[in-house]
Amino acid sequence: MLQIVKADGLAEQEALTAIRNRTAETGARIQAAAAEIMDSVRKNGFQAVEAYALQFDGAAPREIAAEEWEAAVSRCPKELYHALERAVSNIRDYQTRLLQKTQTWNSPDGGLVGCLVRGLTRVGIYVPGGRAAYPSSVLMNAVPAKVAGVKEIIMVTPPTEHFSDAVLTAAKLAGVDRVFAVGGVQAVAGLTYGAGILPKVDKLVGPGNAYVAAAKRIAYGDLDIDMVAGPSEVLVIADANANPKYVAADLLSQAEHDVMASAILLTDSASLAQAVTEEIAQQMAYLPRREIIAASLRDFGVAIVCQSLEEAAHLANEIAPEHLEVLTEAPEELLPLLHNAGAIFLGAYSPEPLGDYMAGPDHVLPTSGTARFFSPLSVESFLKRTSLISYDKPSLAKVKDSILTLAQAEGLSAHANAIAVRFD
């Protein structure tokens, strides 16, 4: 169950060691297998994609026909359809407010400078198959791309006997243009290099297994990627006034993702920590994924009793969690102290699933401490910027001598000449 540790400068660090060492890195064997498939597709194209698809999934790659897609949408339960619509609306509104525009202005020298902002041409979205279906992830990857002005969105997902109606409906509502039944490293390779029916994309986003993660690492440079995400994680800062039922439920909501998921409670109240562990035991009893939860909490769950909320905030910044909840009497007061987190949820009625599904900010977030330097997926992730410079002769004349001085200092005489010839 959830271990309780009293912070003393050492005990909490020891408790966090397993979580810090919990790795999203792919092993050498997986990396080598992914590299072999990527190289084969790069050399042999669609023939290799098809061979691997038949080998691993027992089905040749194919594009989902419009009729099949529309039939899936028509089967989607009305309540689910409307929930997806509402989520799309909220995500679109949030991302539209973040959208940067092309702008130009006059430099101090009188020339025109600026930045051209354009959406990428073609983006790929990887959607995992198997037992779980995550239509919310389709929305979180596709809607920001659409808002950015991406011209074509390609979705790939492993072939199954019956594709998820919810996933295909989410794809339709989010503006996905084409869907292909192909998964694994071969799908990543096909979108990276272009192979037969699979077009080459500029960026690939979306979660996958360890092999897909390894393939994305290899693909980076030939295309852009979102991130190589690790297991899910939540950190809750709570004081004595927090409702232990809420805290327990929020920790459990992440622990159910995966046996590698982490759930951390930081509190200044030993009594709350104890009450939360008791609540976890009670709530787990009726949760279908309780075996996964138990393993996650056993290996990567901890409640740390800090001397103050300020100490808790300092430790949270060190951990840099994917999701950070603040369940204190005055959560806004702690916000200035919190610098490293993928997403921050303030107050008892802002639980993490609100961000997963409906609030609007993206749920594709940095994990494994990378929130120290990475940002969430957003509309900005699908934009490219091109610098713009336009000087006339009088404007160039104002800076001519300074450019010549700098070029000569660097020994680049041709650079200097490209300026000087315009004033001969």
Q: Grade residue 338 by pLDDT with cuts at 50, 70 and 90.
A: very high
pLDDT at 24: 46
* Residues 338-345, mean pLDDT to the nearest whole number: 98
Q: pLDDT-derived band of residue 15, with 50, 70 and 90 as boundaries?
A: confident
Widest pairwise Cα distance in the chain: 85
Structure confidence at residue 53 (pLDDT)? 97
Alpha-carbon span 124 to 178, nearest angstrom? 10
- Identify which has the larger pLDDT, 2 or 315: 315
pLDDT at 28: 83
All domains of the chain in start order, with CATH: 3-24+230-359 (3.40.50.1980), 28-225 (3.40.50.1980), 399-423 (no CATH)
Return mean pLDDT, the chain: 95
Under 8 Å CB-to-CB from 360, ≥6 apart: which residues?
A: 90, 91, 93, 94, 95
Helices (H), 135-243: 135-148, 165-174, 184-193, 210-219
Is the pLDDT assigned to residue 145 strictly greater than 70? Answer: yes
Name the pLDDT band for 132 (thresholds 50, 70, 90).
low
What is the enclosing helix (H) or strand (E) of 255? helix 244-255
pLDDT digits (tens, 9 = 90+) for 24-56: 444 789 999 999 999 999 999 999 999 999 999
pLDDT value at residue 256: 94
Q: How far apart are CA 47 and CA 386, in angstroms?
A: 37
Q: How confident is the model at residue 130 (pLDDT cuts 50, 70, 90)?
A: low
- Among residues 187, 221, 196, the alpha carbon closest in space to that of 44 is found at 196
pLDDT, tens digit, 9 for 90 and up, residues 80-108 = 999 999 999 999 999 999 999 999 999 99
Contact 367, 373 (CB under 8 A): no
Question: pLDDT digits over 186-220, tens only?
Answer: 999 999 999 999 999 999 999 888 899 999 999 99
Q: Write the pLDDT tens digit of every residue in 256-275.
A: 998 999 999 999 999 999 99
Q: What is the pLDDT of residue 129?
A: 80
Residues 6 or more apart from 152 whose CB is under 8 A from it?
121, 122, 123, 177, 178, 199
Query: What pLDDT does 27 receive?
Result: 77
- What pLDDT digit, counting tens, does each position of 366-399 carry? 999 999 999 999 999 999 999 999 999 999 999 9
Contact status, residue 216 vs residue 225, Cβ threshold 8 Å = yes
Percent of residues, the chain, with pLDDT higher than 70: 98
Active site amino acids: 322-323
By the 8 A CB rule, do 335 and 344 touch? yes
The answer to whether residues 364 and 377 touch, using CB atoms and an 8 Å cutoff, is yes
* % of the chain residues with pLDDT over 90: 88
**Span 285-294, pLDDT tens digits:** 999 999 999 9
Integer Cα distance of 285 and 194 in angstroms: 49
- Integer angstrom CA distances of residue 254 from 141, 260, 311, 381: 20, 10, 24, 25
Q: Look at residue 131 in the predicted model and tell me its pLDDT.
A: 61
> Model's pTM, two decimal places?
0.94
